[in-house]
Each structure stands twice: as C-alpha cells, then as structure tokens.
Amino acid sequence: MKVSIQAVKQFTKVNLSTSELIQKINSQLGAIEDVIHTNDVYKDARIVKVVSAEKHPAADRLQVTRIDDGGQIKDVERDDDGLVQVVCGAPNVAAGMFAVWLPPRSVVPATYHDDDPFILGARELRGVMSQGMLAAADELAIGTDHEGILEINPGEWKPSELEITPGVLFADVYGLNDTVIDIENKMFTHRPDLFGQLGVAREIAGIQQQPFISPSWYSEAPTFTASKLLSLHQHNDAPEKVPRFMTVAIKGVEVKPSPLWLQCALVAMGSKPINNIVDVTNYIMLITSQPTHAYDYDLLRGNKITARMAATGETLTLLNQKTYTLSDDDIVIADSEGAIGLAGIMGGGNSEVSENTTNIVLEVATFDMYALRKTSMRHGLFTDALTRFNKGQSPRQNDYVMALLIKTILDVSPGEVASDVSDMKADSARQTVHCSAAFINERLGLDLTSNEIARLLTNVEFDVEASSDSINITVPFWRTDISLPEDVVEEVGRLYSFDELPRELPMRSSMPVQKNAFRSVKQGIRSSLTRFGANEVLTYSFVHEKVLTKATQNPALAYKLSNALSPDLQYYRLSITPSLLDKTHMNIKAGYSSFALYEFGKAHMKEMMSDDEPSVPEEVSTVAMIVTDKKATDAAYFMAKRYAQTVLGNASEYQVVPLQEAQDSLGKWQQQLVAPYEPARSAVIRVGDAVIGVVGEFKHAVRSAFKLPQYTAGFEFDMSHLQPTLSTYKPLSKYPEVTQDLSLVVDANTRFDQLYSLVQDTLQKHEDMQCSITPLSVYQATDNTAVKTISFRITALSYTTTLRDKDVTSLLDSVVAAAAEKLNATRG
C-alpha cells in the first residue's frame, strides 16, 4: 500500500520529520517495505515559459526554442536576454506556452529507477545547440503521451499555492515533492480502511496522539437529486452476495486526459493516468479505499445495469482482452443481454469507457469478499480493486463515496447527473463492543484510566462512553475488523505503542519441566550415530514418484500433493530409506568413497490413521541410515547391522529374523518399509510380536536404479519402539576372571543365533559363575563348505571364589556337549 505523505497532509497535520514518521508508522501501523522520495526524481524539472519557437534551419520537424527559466539554472549557456536555447521536436511547442524543462545534467524522470538512468546534456542537433530538453508526459513518468510536450495550463487548479512562473519547480507546484511510503499489504489483511489515503491519514493522526476529523464528504450523509434525463434500469439480483449496489448515470461527459494535478496525484500514489473518467474512479479508490467503476452508458444493452450471479458457462471478455468462462459462483455486473464486468475485479471490454464515450454509468458497490476471493483464485485475476474488496470493505461508506465520485467526475469533465442514484442495500448496524479499562490494562500490562483509553480511541473517531468501570465503544462504520474486546486491546496497545509496554518476564514456580522422552531417545541415537562417523542429513518430506518406484515401493499407497511445486515433490514418503538411497550416488560422485548417512523422518501411508487421533494420518517416526563404500566387496549387511545395534540399544529385547522368513507375516506398512531390501540379505527386527524395522542390503533392481555401489546397506526403525540406551552395571568381583576361547564346528546351514543362544543358555545354567560371550569369528575353509567354525571368547567370573582353569574347562565341556546334542556340533 503506497501512502503519499502529500495526500495524507490533506487530511491531517504531520508534526514529525519524515524519518520520525517512518519509524512511527513502522512501529504502530505496519512494516515499511520501501520509502520513495519522488522529489528526488523531479528535483531538476522546472516549469519554463517558451519565449520563442522557430523552425530549425536544417530539419523540418524540429523547432528551435528560447525558454525563460527565471535564471534558475547555473552554468548553462544563455543569450543576451538570459534565455536558454532548446531544440524541440514536439508539434505542439509554441511561443507563449508553459512547459517542463529538464536542464543539462538532470536525469530523465522516466529513467530514474533504471540501472542506467539517462542523463541529459548540452548537444548539437543538426548543427544547433540544445540545452537539455522540453519533456513529454511519458518522459516525466506521468503518462504514456509522447505526441507532444507537456503543456502547463496556469489557469487550471493545482494542489499548491505557488504561482506558475518561469523557473518554479514542477514538483513543488504539482505535489510531486513527496515522500511515498510503501507499507506491506500483509499488515492490513484485516483493515479494509487502510487501503485508502484517508484511512492511513486517520491512523497517522492517532499515532501522533492527535484527534482526526474526517472530511465533511466522509462524515455528513449526502443527499442525491433525482433525475430521469437518461433511462436506466438499475437492479441488484444477487443481494445475498452484493450487500450494497449503487449506480447512477451521468450525461454529456467529455473523455480526455485528466488535469495535471490529478495525473500527478495518481503517479504519487503508484497508479497511472489513463483518461479523466477512469482516473477519477481510480483516484477515489486510492483516497477512500472503496473501488468504483465507470461503464459506457450507450454500450449497456437495454439501458440496464444489474448485479447477478453468472450463468454456468457464460463467457466474458474483460478489459485485459482475455475471455473467461464463468460459473454460477461468480458475481457479474450485467446489462439486459449479458455480463459486462466481473464484479469487484475487472470491468468488461464491452462496456469500456473510451474516447467516444459521452454518457457513463458509475458504480459504487460492495461484494461478498469470500465470493470475490474464490472468483479471483479460480480465474487467476488479481487487481487493485480485488485487493481492497477481499479485505471486506464496509457497505456503509458507499453513499459518501458515490457523492464524492459524482462531484469529482463533474470537476474534470462537463456533464450532469442523468438518473436517480439507486441504492440497493441490506441494513447493517454499527458494531458495539463493551469492555473495561481493567480488561485492557490486564492484557497490556498498563495502568491507563478509562479516559486515557477513550482519548486514544476517539482520536481515530471511535464513539466511546467511558466510566470508571466500563468502556462502551461504537465502532466507526469503516472498521469491519472490530467486534471483540480483544480487538479493542489491540487498538489501544497499538495507538499507545506496543514498544512502550512494560517488559516483564512471567513469574514461574520451581516446578521442573517434563523432558520429552521421545526427543531424548532421538538425541541419544543422534549422538551415537554421529560418534560412529555417520552424517545426519535432512531431505524433503516429498519425493518424486520415481524415487518410490526405484525403491520398489507402491506410489498408490503414498499421499499425493495436489499442488506440488514440481513432480520432484509430489508424494509423501512411505519410508525414509529411499530418500537416502537417492542421495548416495551424488555424494560418491562428489568424491566421498565411504560414508554413512542417517535421517530422522516421518513415514505415512494412505489409510493408516493415527491411533490417538483417528481423523488424521498416522505418522511413523523413523530413523533410517545407509552405509556405503565404493571399494569394499564383502557383505555390507554386517556393517549396517553394527550401526543398527547402536540404535537398538543393549538393553532392548529384540530378535533378528531373516527377512525371507518374516516376509509373509508383515503388515501393509512394513511391506513398504522392507520393499527396497533384499530378502536373502536382510533381517527384520522384532520386539515381541511387533516388527519394528529392517536392516539389510538392497535388491539388485534398487541398487541399479539408484546407482549404488555393491557395498551398500542400511536400516530403518520405527522409533516408537526404541528406548534410551541404558548402561547396565554389574558389581566388580574380588576374584579374577578367567577367559577361554571355544570353537565349534557346525553344519554350514546352522544359523549363528541358534548356536549363540544355545551357548548362552548353557552358560546361564551355571549359577555360580557369571559368563560373558564375545563372538570371535566365523570361519569356513574354501575346500569344505559343508561346515563352518564359529569361535567365541568366554569370560567367566565368580563372586565367591577364585576360579581355576578346570572350572572353566568343565563349563566349556558342558557347552560342547549341549551343542553336540542339539546342533550336532563338534569342538574345533
């Protein structure tokens, strides 16, 4: 929202310097995006009198002028009369006129913001010296006209007291010696009134602690005269969505460029002049924040104007020359034959005011903000009018605005009111809010009296009845954002200044904060994986369908975004492993030959809903890791498993079950989790009956799809089953421990865990000793693959006696005997 300080000053006094004002606006109104000093742009442009204009001796289209700048510009070549010679190509240049001169060394205003602004000089044109230039409207960035130079009409109204005399600054006369403050629109989402200079001026008064008085055209209810000069059938056929619809016909207008003051005012507020009628409708909007529109009366078929819902399939070509197919949710303005405008957003091409227009219809309407927003989103149309309407313009301001609109149109054009001002509206009462100084003070930490609060609010034209224990507020009609006492708290706090509130920390008791147990688990895993050389990564929560299919997961089970930025980010993840696989090759190519990546993430699957909250999808928090080595050739599985064990913890009771065996009993999500893993070289981890994750190598198809080295393996666990790793302590013994190694030869198909648990069970039977088992090796001779030798180191300890070797030997003998009996093992 561009705020012109000159415009604001029409409505209220500004007692602050520009920099103080900017700071105050920032802290009490809204964040400032940009400050534009239009004066910088026009600082050298001077109004001059063309004293003579004669044909250029060597060029038909050029004239050599002598201009009077009142002697204002130094260091410029002058003739004996003190006049400056400027060559001009404009057909309208003539002796006696006032024009705008851009002297040498000045910047052409239209190029001021360019990377390479155009700086004028003194140069010869076809052999005649020319000092700077006489400017056309487009060169001054106040219009598109390049047909001729801008002519200053000294008799026309202008916003300053200055006389049009040779050498006076153009910007000073036409109010372009301005500072324009651009406030972020987002600040005003709930403030329809702040999209007009009037509303901002009111706030600027309020934050300067001075009372604001709305101009009479905004405070004294207007009366309209009846007229039937033109026939106009005025209707509102959609009162549900169009709370107020005012129209009037004006006869005998003359469409032409606006007077200069109006053009300059529009430029200062960030708009651009088109023609007097359109300019006035825009000007009124920029001042009041109420969008208005003008139609060519003679183009309205059946002399009719109405607001109605569009028919489904109805088409409409708008001013942007694009044709839109409408639905019955769109509000249109229509004549007797069809739509002539998309309500509140853009007028139609078939009713546009043009050079040939002589009669017009003016509209000041209020539309349902939600309906307009939907229409705008559906058609991708965003206009200044929409920006204002979709904040919820007050339907109580239309008559004031209509009166000002009519008056201003008739100021810039001949014409007369030619129909009744029709006004179709629903009654709406002004909002009242009851609160108290105590309520407000409690929420702001202040100690204001009712009267002090009342003063802050009446400064911005709230009606306030204040007593010691209550404050009753009647909200001004332009404020559609205030209905709760808390809204009044905001108003008071802002006008008082939030930065001035007493800053005190809340008091708290010494009650300890409960630790988040899940986060402690996560933190434990993070520190152990990192300690073992793995790198934590973050990857997107959304993946390309290909990442899922490469991992042989089923994309049909994944939640899919309907408005993804690109196909790369289309699907929610079924598990985290595929994302890590997707990042592996890239890092190998970057020169890392051996690494481990891990990530904490959330897995989702369609129809898997949360147990605690069945209306939302279940989120399985998992930790996934991959480890890879470009050169290694042995089984990466065992590396991944070692890492997995650090995650699973020593204390947890878990089982490692070959994936091949577990595959048929997996749940639907677990099936997707294990999908990329090679069944012959992976295991699932089970806690009780629950499968909590998988560790293993990847299927051949997955490896080749992701270009993974042969030595790649990984794991992924559902973290809800994981617990913090706790150390377990055994008291130290006074007696030394005894260590012996034991090798057992078993059938090649005997699983390690079968032997291990047998050894463990047997050792546990000897209650007089505490034994620990460390696997040493699994050996298989190349010439005998029918058997393998598994070696353990067994350490025995007693708390009651010094163990002798023979005690341990008999212990191991019992193990060998059990292994021979159960697994047909022999001692190696």
> Which residues in 374-393 contact another protein (CB under 8 A)?
374, 377, 390-391
Tell me, what amino acid is at 616? V
State the CB neighbour count (10 A cutoff) for residue 486: 14
Distance CA 77, CA 69 (A): 12
Considering beta carbons, is residue 209 or 704 the nearer one to another protein? 704
Tell the residue number behind the tokens 């100084």, with chain if given: 437
Site for another protein in 173-192 (CB under 8 A): 186-191
Give me the least distance between CB of 558 and another protein, in Å please.
Answer: 10
The sign of the CA dihedral 690, 693, 697, 700 is: positive
Considering beta carbons, is residue 261 or 559 the nearer one to another protein? 559
Considering beta carbons, is residue 123 or 700 the nearer one to another protein? 700
Considering beta carbons, is residue 260 or 537 the nearer one to another protein? 537
255: left (phi over 0), alpha (psi -120 to 50) or beta: beta
Report the residue from 240, 619, 747, 821 that binds another protein according to the rule CB under 8 A. 619
Site for another protein in 16-45 (CB under 8 A): 26-31
Backbone angles phi, psi at 203, to 5 degrees: -70, -35
Considering beta carbons, is residue 211 or 617 the nearer one to another protein? 617
Tell the residue number behind the tokens 């709230």, with chain if given: 462
Q: Which stretch binds another protein (CB under 8 A): 65-73, 160-168, 345-353, 541-549?
A: 541-549
Crossing angle (nearest 10°) for helices 450-459 and 485-496? 80
Question: Which x/- pattern, by CB under 8 A, does the window 286-325 give for another protein?
Answer: ----------------------------------------
Site for another protein in 710-739 (CB under 8 A): 710
Q: Is 758 in the site for another protein (CB under 8 A)?
A: no
> Which residues on adjacent β-strands are paired with residue 250?
360, 417
Q: Is 631 in the site for another protein (CB under 8 A)?
A: no
Considering beta carbons, is residue 137 or 744 the nearer one to another protein? 744
Site for another protein in 779-808 (CB under 8 A): 779-780, 788
Report the residue from 304, 455, 583, 822 that binds another protein according to the rule CB under 8 A. 583
Tell the residue number behind the tokens 């294990």, with chain if given: 674
Crossing angle (nearest 10°) for helices 276-288 and 260-268? 40
Distance CA 448, CA 468 (A): 11
Q: Which stretch binds another protein (CB under 8 A): 33-41, 85-93, 589-597, 728-736?
A: 589-597
Crossing angle (nearest 10°) for helices 197-207 and 18-28? 90
Site for another protein in 645-704 (CB under 8 A): 656, 658-660, 678, 680-683, 695-697, 699-701, 704
Q: Is 505 in the site for another protein (CB under 8 A)?
A: yes
CB 789 within 8 A of CB 780: yes
Considering beta carbons, is residue 191 or 721 the nearer one to another protein? 191
Strands laid side by side in the 346-347 sheet: 233-236, 304-309, 331-334, 339-342, 346-347
Tell me, what amino acid is at 771? C
Q: Which stretch binds another protein (CB under 8 A): 66-74, 324-332, 746-754, 798-806?
A: 746-754
Report the residue from 226, 511, 732, 786 that binds another protein according to the rule CB under 8 A. 511
**Cα 15 from chain centroid?**
36
Q: Is 634 in the site for another protein (CB under 8 A)?
A: yes
Considering beta carbons, is residue 405 or 722 the nearer one to another protein? 722
List all residues 6 or more positions away from 565 whose beta carbon is below 8 Å from its beta carbon. none
Site for another protein in 428-447 (CB under 8 A): 442-445
Give me the least distance between CB of 34 and another protein, in Å please.
Answer: 12
Computed on alpha carbons and rounded to an integer, the radius of gyration of the chain in Å comes to 42
Report the residue from 40, 151, 420, 490 that binds another protein according to the rule CB under 8 A. 490
Q: Is 205 in the site for another protein (CB under 8 A)?
A: no
**Cα 281 from chain centroid?**
31
609 secondary structure, DSSP code: B
> Among residues 214, 68, 66, 198, which one has the least CA distance to residue 130?
66
Q: Which stretch binds another protein (CB under 8 A): 282-290, 397-405, 456-464, 775-783?
A: 775-783
> Which residues on adjacent β-strands are paired with residue 628?
595, 712
Q: Is 630 in the site for another protein (CB under 8 A)?
A: no
Q: Is 194 in the site for another protein (CB under 8 A)?
A: no
